[in-house]
Structure 1
Amino acid sequence: MSRPLKRSALRHALSALLIQLVSWHRGQEDFAELPPAFRDFRRLVERRFADWHDVSDYAAALGWSPRTLARASRLARGVTPKKVIDERLLLEARRLLVQTDLPVHSIGDRIGFDDPSNFTAWFRRQAGHTPSEFRAAHGHTSGADR
């Protein structure tokens, strides 16, 4: 198999895996059994994750206190609301890195990071490597990253 074809196949396999993981994750959450504050929070995160990175923005929009969201998140998922937001951002960043040729700085901009260095530092903290390293490791290379 040629190198470009192998990269393309790996990229599509990773995309399929990410889609399956998201579907599986959503299927694990029986929304009827989750605290109402967490259900509302998750729905709003899906709509606003690229715009809002702070728990206080979600709390204000929903009419819940940040402490209420923290309790609901701990009860529902065992994590903080900030972790829920960061997980969603990371999933979208990874999806864009694998499925598009967008430069890393454009991906950061799309998910709400005004400064490319802030996006790269955040991604490294969350994923353990830079966005470019992630892209290269998953079979997608582009001159736009260099």
Structure 2
Amino acid sequence: MIKENLHAQSDPLILMYLFSTLSLMLHRLRPELRPDVLSQGQSIKFARFLDLLFIHFNKIRDGNWYASQINTTYKTLNQICKLATNLTAKQLIDSYTIIEIKRCLVVSSITSQQVAYDFGFEDASNFVKYFKKQVGLTPSQFQKKYLKPVL
């Protein structure tokens, strides 16, 4: 992905497909295939959490909501996530959300305001603060840095 991004004729669509491929591979290699890390029950809960995250990341970033959907507590969900990935549930939610936001910003010339709406932010300024806290750049700065002009 880095080589493609640095290539003189880099194509955001190729980057999107590379990311999607890696994401699918990661999904296939989930910890439920590694019984030494998580118990079977933990693996099932983690897999259900990931399934829900992949569906609802663009509207729901509340770890308590995900925990309630898989009939567990937020504390238990955090423990499972930490065992599986060394990240908390909230860190996983934010990381996946930011990756998808970045993909949207790079693949299209969509405005920050539209991305904010698409990802369930009530206010564009809250979206900009969230993105800048996670990435260190505003969405428009990130987009300018990585979006290649179409010739």
TM-score normalised to structure 1 length:
0.81
User: Residues of 2 paired with 1:57 and 1:24: CA distance?
Assistant: 26
1:135–1:141 contact (8 Å) kept in structure 2: no
The amino acid that maps onto 1:78 is: N
The amino acid that maps onto 1:50 is: N
Gaps of 5+ in 2: 1-6
User: Residues of 1 paired with 2:60 and 2:16: CA distance?
Assistant: 25
2:31–2:84 contact (8 Å) kept in structure 1: no
Tell me, yes or no, if structure 1 residue 40 matches structure 2 residue 40: no
Which 10-residue stretch deviates more, 133-142 or 95-104? 133-142
User: Residues of 1 paired with 2:146 and 2:66: CA distance?
Assistant: 33
The residue aligned with 1:9 is 10
User: Residues of 1 paired with 2:103 and 2:148: CA distance?
Assistant: 11
1:49–1:85 contact (8 Å) kept in structure 2: yes
User: Residues of 2 paired with 1:16 and 1:40: CA distance?
Assistant: 24
The percentage of counterpart residues that share the same residue type is: 26
The residue aligned with 2:67 is 59
The residue aligned with 2:130 is 122
Q: Which has the higher contact order (CA 8 A, sep 6+)?
A: 1
Paired residues for 1:1-146 under 5 Å: 9-33=10-34, 34=38, 35-140=43-148
1:49-106 superposed Cα distances (whole Å, 9 cap, x missing partner): 1121111111111111111101100000001000111011111101110112221111
* Number of residue equivalences: 137
TM-score normalised to structure 2 length:
0.78
1:74–1:80 contact (8 Å) kept in structure 2: yes
2:30–2:47 contact (8 Å) kept in structure 1: no
What's the C-alpha RMSD, in Å, of the aligned pairs?
Answer: 2.3
1:32-52 superposed Cα distances (whole Å, 9 cap, x missing partner): 335222111111111111121
Considering fraction of residues, name the structure with more helix: 1
Which 10-residue stretch deviates more, 89-98 or 9-18? 9-18
User: Residues of 1 paired with 2:74 and 2:68: CA distance?
Assistant: 8
